[in-house]
Amino acid sequence: MGFGVFIHRSDSIYNDSPAEQYQFPSQYLGRAQTFVGDWIIYYEPRKVPDTRGYFAIAKVQQIISDPNIPNMYLALIEAGSYLDFVRPVPFNGPDGVVERGLLNEDGRISGRAQSAVRSISPSDLNRILAIGFDEVEPMLPRVGEISSPFELNEQQAIFHHEERDRINYISSRAVRDRAFRKIILSAYDQRCAVTGLKLINGGGRAEVDAAHIRPVAANGPDIVSNGVALSGTAHWMFDRGLISFDDGLKIMISRQVNDAESMRNIINKTGHALVPQRPFQQPHPTFLKWHRDNCFKQ
């Protein structure tokens, strides 16, 4: 077992679904097998326009042969383990290369940086996670959501612990919910995708929720493409299947709604969900279909 890095680009030609599987050629099989049961970080290369750098963490559950392509393999990701970073981490930081294991004896970047599947040292992983989940400006939860002042102190202090403690920390459901909220609200500019409203309360907090399209209870991952920013009312309707989205992001209204006209009045004038411009941040059709099939009341 050991930590690793998977190179993935948002326009990948491979059969990748970061929260579910990662495809790679046979030359990396031996290396990838050492990550089974442990954690990897996803990295998008610098040559990709608007690269995310190091952008997520996930746990490898199993390696299998790709049933459709000879000499290709799939690293299957453990359900519920994937988590986007709150703050994507660039390859180069203020102190130089963040993944220092890529430097050779002369301090230059070695050929290892080109490996699509590579190991990473615990100290490098620790450094990347510390930046990726930095809580310098935490988004405060709604009144009543903070369990105790101790929880906030623990959130700041935990990053001084060892790598495994950090992994245990980000595996916490409460921590993942806070991170997911920050990711979604940032992607949607704190604006409700249904109403189009961007409401900020007197405390500077956005009055919008980060909704999972496929819920965590139904193995929905904490990935930006499985989320949407919704006001409280829109979130309530979405969770109860009174509204949904088609693959073109048109807002669908259930026939079981008792006041469809009033509901249409709160929908933004386009009739479509207002989503981020970057494709990888937009709701994925797979998750939208799940919601229509399992939640939406036709």
Q: What is the pTM of this model?
A: 0.84
Averaged pLDDT for residues 84-98: 93
Tokens at 40, concatenated: 């990897």
Averaged pLDDT for residues 31-36: 97
CATH number of 4-132: 3.10.590
pLDDT (tens digit per residue) in 112-155: 999 999 999 999 999 999 999 875 444 444 434 433 333 333 44
Asked if pLDDT for residue 31 goes beyond 70, the answer is: yes
Q: Which one is predicted more confidently, 40 or 50?
A: 40
Any idea where the domains of the chain sit in the sequence?
Answer: 4-132, 185-294
Least confident span in 111-120, 162-171, 180-189: 162-171
What distance in Å separates the CA atoms of residue 12 and residue 120, rounded to the nearest whole number? 22
8 A C-beta contact, residue 185 and residue 138: no
What distance in Å separates the CA atoms of residue 266 and residue 130, rounded to the nearest whole number? 41
What distance in Å separates the CA atoms of residue 37 and residue 61, rounded to the nearest whole number? 5
Please give, one letter per residue, the 3-state secondary structure of 133-172: CCCCCCCCCCCCCCCCHHHHHHHHHHHHCCHHHHHHHHCC
Q: Which one is predicted more confidently, 16 or 207?
A: 16
Asked if pLDDT for residue 170 goes beyond 50, the answer is: yes
Q: What is the pLDDT of residue 37?
A: 96
Number of H helices, E strands in the chain: 8, 13
pLDDT (tens digit per residue) in 248-268: 999 999 998 888 888 888 999
Percent of the chain scored above 90 by pLDDT? 71
Q: Which one is predicted more confidently, 281 or 142?
A: 281
How many C-beta atoms surround the C-beta of residue 34 within 10 A?
Answer: 16
